[in-house]
Structures are given as C-alpha cells and as structure tokens.
C-alpha cells in the first residue's frame, strides 16, 4: 500500500480525514442509539450526541420528515460518504478511485494488517 501523501496532495488527505472522522462518528452515534437513548448519561453517547448534533441541525432542512429520528445521523453519514466517494475524485480529475482508496480507511487497514499479519 502506498502512503496517501505520496498519492494525493496534503489538502486532499486532510479533507478526507476530517470528513471520514465525521462520517464514522455519525455512524457510531447511530449504532449507540440502537442500545441507548439520545439523552443517556453514558459518556460515549453524550460525546457522540454533542459532536454530531450541530450537523444534525445543519442538515435538518434537507432531512425527510418520514425518517426515524435515530436514523438521521446515518442519513447524514451517507451524504458525507457520497461526497467522499464521488465528488472528491471528480474534483481531483480521477474517473475512479476505488473503494479502498480513501486515505483514512487505507491507513486504518494498513495499521490493522501490520498489527495482525506481521
């Protein structure tokens, strides 16, 4: 696996890391919400809600009303995924980047590979 900084400019990697972290935090909030209510006193749930609530409010005008409240963060994470998977490569001039070419997930995959297979 190549180093993301050798393939992409630093600003691309930085944007992808920020968007990837936000996306996975939204997914984490949705997963935690399966087991805990939004107003839970559990510190992880409070963190997920505090960090992601501004995005939920920002996306409120385009969020369908029929969507169940616990699934709203997953809906927003889907938007961020679409931006990362389709719009970023298009803006960079690539026709296809591939599923595992996200710099954030690539680095995590590399670390897991190094930890378990070496």
> Residue ranges per domain, the chain?
4-117
pLDDT at 61: 95
| Residue 89 CB neighbours (<10 A) | 16
To the nearest whole number, what is the mean pLDDT of the chain? 85
Q: Give the residue, 109 or 93, on which the prediction is more confident.
A: 109
Strands (E), 13-98: none
CA dihedral 80→81→85→87, nearest 10 degrees, is -20
Give the mean model confidence (pLDDT) for residues 19-23: 93
With cut-offs at 50, 70 and 90, classify the pLDDT of residue 40: very high
């Amino acid at each position: 696996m190549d180093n993301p900084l050798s393939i992409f400019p630093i600003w691309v990697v930085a944007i992808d890391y920020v968007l990837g972290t936000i996306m996975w935090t939204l997914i984490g909030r949705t997963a935690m919400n399966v087991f805990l209510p939004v107003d839970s006193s559990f510190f992880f749930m409070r963190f997920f809600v505090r960090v992601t609530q501004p995005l939920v409010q920002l996306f409120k005008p385009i969020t369908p009303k029929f969507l169940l409240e616990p699934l709203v963060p997953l809906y927003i994470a889907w938007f961020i995924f679409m931006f990362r998977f389709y719009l970023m490569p298009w803006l960079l001039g690539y026709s296809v980047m591939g599923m595992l070419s996200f710099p954030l997930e690539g680095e995590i995959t590399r670390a897991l590979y190094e930890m378990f297979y070496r």
